[in-house]
Chain A
Amino acid sequence: GEDVEQSLFLSVREGDSSVINCTYTDSSSTYLYWYKQEPGAGLQLLTYIFSNMDMKQDQRLTVLLNKKDKHLSLRIADTQTGDSAIYFCAESSGGSYIPTFGRGTSLIVHP
């Protein structure tokens, strides 16, 4: 299997919460990231979490990390149409400069 896995699509209604899930295989991962890619644009770092944390909140974004299960999630509260994009999960290990990316989850927000 792939090193970082995430579902490919998620559809939500505007105003609802979105939860995007990710699993990874490297137990030595030290940093886990969420990137957002809007159509025609590069990747924008949304947030990241150190492996010694289990939760990080930043305004509408909540990241949860279950290190035992190697599971990472991104929750977007009050999802808006402007949140429609592809969300990439990525991880990097200590000493590595290079994150490993998942295939991205396309979030579709409909009225």
Chain B
Amino acid sequence: SAVISQKPSRDICQRGTSLTIQCQVDSQVTMMFWYRQQPGQSLTLIATANQGSEATYESGFVIDKFPISRPNLTFSTLTVSNMSPEDSSIYLCSVRTGMNTEAFFGQGTRLTVV
């Protein structure tokens, strides 16, 4: 299994500012992902964080808005840039230790933009 620590757990931010969310795993993992969970909605994959290279973004998400870093196999950050109220959501870090293994999730970051 993998234990994921995600920070901050919640934040209230002013529109136009940026917030960086950190995801720390207690062991090296092959795959790290960032999801968004809007109120009453399913989880939507934002991007796959690739170690040592640019993240792979899903349709509708761009690097300028959601820059992602992954400097090593245990850590990743997601930045929500130039925030607007529509970015209010829960952001979740997820990891998998290998192909066809279960996905582990962090506790999420609840972001409110005012």
The reply to whether B4 and A42 contact each other, CB–CB distance below 8 Å, is: yes
The reply to whether B33 and A42 contact each other, CB–CB distance below 8 Å, is: no
A4 at the interface (CB under 8 A from B): yes
Q: Spot the interface stretch: B11-19, B66-74, B80-88, B104-112.
A: B104-112
- Given the complex, which residues of A lie within 8 Å of B59, measured CB to CB? none
Q: Give the distance in Å from the alpha carbon of A103 to the alpha carbon of B104 in the complex.
A: 18
Q: What count of chain A residues pass the 8 Å CB interface test?
A: 24
- Given the complex, which residues of B lie within 8 Å of A101, measured CB to CB? 42-43
- Given the complex, which residues of A lie within 8 Å of B96, measured CB to CB? 97
Majority DSSP secondary structure for residues of B touching A: strand
- Given the complex, which residues of A lie within 8 Å of B92, measured CB to CB? 42-43
Q: Give the distance in Å from the alpha carbon of A102 to the alpha carbon of B37 in the complex.
A: 11
The reply to whether A103 and B41 contact each other, CB–CB distance below 8 Å, is: yes
- Given the complex, which residues of B lie within 8 Å of A88, measured CB to CB? 42-43
The reply to whether B100 and A45 contact each other, CB–CB distance below 8 Å, is: no
B40 at the interface (CB under 8 A from A): yes
The reply to whether A45 and B104 contact each other, CB–CB distance below 8 Å, is: yes
B48 at the interface (CB under 8 A from A): yes
B31 at the interface (CB under 8 A from A): yes
8 nearest interchain CB pairs? A42-B105, A43-B105, A42-B107, A103-B42, A101-B43, A101-B42, A45-B102, A42-B106
